[in-house]
Every structure is written in C-alpha cells, then in structure tokens.
Amino acid sequence: SRLEEKPFSEMEMSYIQQGEEALQKSLSILGNQDGWKTETEVENGDKVLSKVLPDVGKVFRLEVVVDQPLDAVYSELVDNMEQMGDWNPNVKEVKILQRIGKDTVITHEKAAAPPGNIVGPRDFVSVRCSKRRGSTCVLAGMATQYGAVPEQEGFVRAENGPTCMLLRPLPGRPSHTKLTWLLSIDLKGWLPKTIINQVLAQTQVDFAKHLRQRLVRTAAP
C-alpha cells in the first residue's frame, strides 16, 4: 500500500520512536512483579494494584478477564478507538489527529469531568502504538507535543506517562481475554494525592464495567 512505500519524515520517525519507547517502558514496569499493592478489588475479581516508581511516580494496574475473544476486544480498543466516548462515561471524546504507518497514531482525548467535578476537565495529546506479537496485543501510549492542538480553553492539559493495555487469550479459555491496563498519569493542577488516587483507581474499575457492556452489545447479532 502507498502508506508503506512512503518514507517517514523526521517528525513522523520521532513519533514512531516515542510510541516504541512507551511500549518498552510500560512492558518493563508490568514485567516487574515486586512492590504492587492492592488498591481495589471488585466482587467479580477485577482488581486495581498500584506501585510508586522513582522516575514515574504512582502507577496503577487494572487486571480483568473479559468473556469475549481477543479480536473483539482489540477491535473495540484500537479500530474503534474514536467511538470510546460513546460507551465510556469517563471519556468525552477521542480523536485521531494523524496516522503514521500501520501501528502509530496521534490522538487528542477529552476526559469527562468526574461526578462532583472534583477534578476539572482534562485533555491529553498522546502518541499511541499498537503491536501484535503472536497471541499477545499491546496498545501503548504517552504524552506528546502536537503543534496543531495547543492547550485549549476550559481544559487543563494533563499528561499520560507510559501507559499500556496488554491483551492475551486466557490460558485454557481462548474465548476469554485477560486485559491488563497500566495507567500512569499526571493530572496537573493542585490536587490532593488521595483524591487523585481515588479517581484513577475508580476510572479503571469503571472502564472494565463499561467495556464489558459495550462488548456484549456489539457481539449481539
């Protein structure tokens, strides 16, 4: 395809490298099993763990099993990324600003203000890359600069640290998917840590709930 043949500009190469870096950093954080503490555990087995890293700060890790095959989950999170605002109440809008090759996109995401508006409206500009390695899929991202989308009135520009979602078929049950979401985020502004921790852990639990509801609806004939 023409996309493949066209050589990348220096700027595009820089975005591709940032995406790769987010991927490597995220996987190395998830790969280290030491020091994770449970923040929240839901009756259905969903849980959020957290850990403080010297160079990144506090990171959160959601671990869930979704009773849908990996391809359906991947398709919803990657191919239909811009529809996330339709089903995830924590997300107002996700817009793809630019596609680079087949793996890398630049996105602008507006977060919906949480109940009680304790954290005001935030937006994010991120580079995201998606890779499939065998039966494992990784969607990684981190904050980036994109000249066409400067900071916007009414929104505080927050920053994603290295974040990623890791999808794998559940061993022995290939029709189910194990999803691990590493969330590392700087919400900016003067917010007490306890509030931030509560909001972020809850955001992850909510995401799992709404993703399941969405997948049930889209899987229905």
Give the residue among 184, 207, 221, 172 at the shortest CA–CA distance from 76.
207
> What is the model's pLDDT at position 198?
86
- pLDDT of 199 reads 86
Contact 126, 141 (CB under 8 A): yes
Tokens standing for 204?
A: 């992850």
Contact 219, 95 (CB under 8 A): no
- Number of domains forming the structure of the chain: 1
* The pLDDT value given to residue 209: 97
pLDDT at 195: 83
- The rounded distance, in Å, linking the Cα atoms of 119 and 142 is 21
CATH code for the domain of 163 = 3.30.530.20
Structural domain that includes position 141: 2-219
β-partners of residue 140 are 129, 164
Contact assessment for residue 68 and residue 177, using Cβ atoms and an 8 Å cutoff? yes
Q: What is residue 119's predicted lDDT score, i.e. its pLDDT?
A: 72
Task: Give the pLDDT confidence score for residue 117 in this predicted structure.
Answer: 64
Q: Residue 168's pLDDT is what?
A: 97
Q: What is the pLDDT of residue 59?
A: 95
In this prediction, residue 5 carries a pLDDT of 61
> Mind listing the pLDDT tens digit of every residue in the chain (221 residues)?
455 567 899 999 999 999 999 999 999 999 999 999 999 999 999 999 999 998 888 999 999 999 999 999 999 999 999 999 999 999 999 999 999 999 999 999 999 876 666 677 899 999 999 999 889 999 999 999 999 999 988 899 999 989 999 999 999 998 999 999 999 998 888 788 888 888 899 999 999 999 999 999 987 76
For residues 5 and 141, give the distance between their C-alpha atoms in angstroms, rounded to a whole number. Answer: 25
Q: What is the pLDDT of residue 3?
A: 56
In contact, 57 and 165? CB cutoff 8 Å: no
In the prediction, which pLDDT does 55 show? 85
**How much of the chain is helix, strand and coil, in % rounded to 5?**
35, 40, 30
Q: Report how far residue 43's alpha carbon sits from residue 144's, in angstroms, rounded to the nearest whole number.
A: 37
Task: Give the pLDDT confidence score for residue 191 in this predicted structure.
Answer: 80
Q: How far is Cα of residue 153 from the mean position of the Cα atoms in its chain?
A: 24
| pLDDT for the residue 114 | 65
Phi first, then psi: what are they for 26, rounded to 5°? -60, -45
Residue carrying the six token digits 């995830």: 88
Whether this model's pTM surpasses 0.85: yes
